[in-house]
Amino acid sequence: MKSDLYVALENRQIAPGIMRLSIQRSEATGGMRELPEREIGIKRKTPLNFEAEDWAYSPVEPGQFFMLKTRAVEPLLPRPLSVHEASGDVVVFLYQTRGAGTKAIAALETGDPVLATGPCGRGFPVDDITGRVALIAGGIGIAPFRYLARRLSKSPSISSLVLVAGFRSMLFGLEDIAPFVTEIRVATEDGSAGTKGFVTDIIAPAPFDAVLACGPIPMLKAVKDSCKSAGTRCLVSVEARMACGIGACLGCTINTRSGNRRVCVDGPVFPAEEVLFDGGE
């Protein structure tokens, strides 16, 4: 993990309140790179169109995050954003604008400098995940699954990869992940797409060898409980308020079976059975 100066390549809204930001380490930045053509002849002009082998050179693991700070005077503290995609010197984030920190990030324009510290935390153990896998996303919890799905899709140990995503209403991020999964199931709270209800209404952990979940705490708890009943391995990416992002302030501490753990350095990905949600089971 290190701090570097990056430059914003693209920062645009993809759904109401949902933004996608790509940044590139500044020493390599000379404007948007013209990337080589793929075999199918589509020019790789956007930061999401990476070649399959690109990721092998990236030290970023799926589920990790960066602490981002813009030139804005306020807020003083950097904001943690989960990695949506990574390749070489480019990192992409999918984020929701809901506070001063993310609003400052949403104001970034192409060419603006960004101080980024990372990759931070422990991500999903890609090489240790096998068989039939389900990715369970709640809202903006879908953010890490693009990079994770791309990495898992290259693993010969994965036999199927299903994305189960829940939203309030508006869908987002699915098209980024679709090329790398075998199936997508959707639930919306207002019934505007997919099954009406919560994502927890449409998961059935029994057919899977591993369930990887990211979303709000009540969803993670429900996923943990259903995986426990089914005897299915479950990993959860826990969201917590973070000030330093490097393990110094203890502001992100959660209760686990092995005592208090810091989400920013011990997580954000934990085995679900380790995490004591609401201080209980």
| Least spacing, CB of residue 245 vs ligand FES, in Å | 5
Q: How far apart are CA 178 and CA 149, in angstroms?
A: 9
Q: Which of residues 221 and 261 has its CB atom nearest to ligand FES in the complex?
A: 261
| Least spacing, CB of residue 148 vs ligand FES, in Å | 22
Q: Which of residues 72 and 240 has its CB atom nearest to ligand FES in the complex?
A: 240
Q: How far apart are CA 33 and CA 11, in angstroms?
A: 16
State the pairing for strand pair 2-15/79-87: unpaired
Contact positions toward ligand FES, by CB under 6 A? 242-245, 247-252, 262, 264
**Alpha carbon of residue 17 to chain centroid:** 17
Residue carrying structure tokens 């990211």: 214
Q: How far apart are CA 95 and CA 6, in angstroms?
A: 18
| Least spacing, CB of residue 239 vs ligand FES, in Å | 12
| Least spacing, CB of residue 193 vs ligand FES, in Å | 35
Tokens of 227: 């995986």
Q: Which of residues 152 and 252 has its CB atom nearest to ligand FES in the complex?
A: 252
| Least spacing, CB of residue 117 vs ligand FES, in Å | 11
| Least spacing, CB of residue 253 vs ligand FES, in Å | 7
Q: Which of residues 163 and 238 has its CB atom nearest to ligand FES in the complex?
A: 238
| Least spacing, CB of residue 136 vs ligand FES, in Å | 24
Q: Which of residues 15 and 115 has its CB atom nearest to ligand FES in the complex?
A: 115
Q: Which of residues 250 and 276 has its CB atom nearest to ligand FES in the complex?
A: 250
| Least spacing, CB of residue 264 vs ligand FES, in Å | 3
Q: Which of residues 63 and 245 has its CB atom nearest to ligand FES in the complex?
A: 245
Q: Which of residues 9 and 105 has its CB atom nearest to ligand FES in the complex?
A: 105
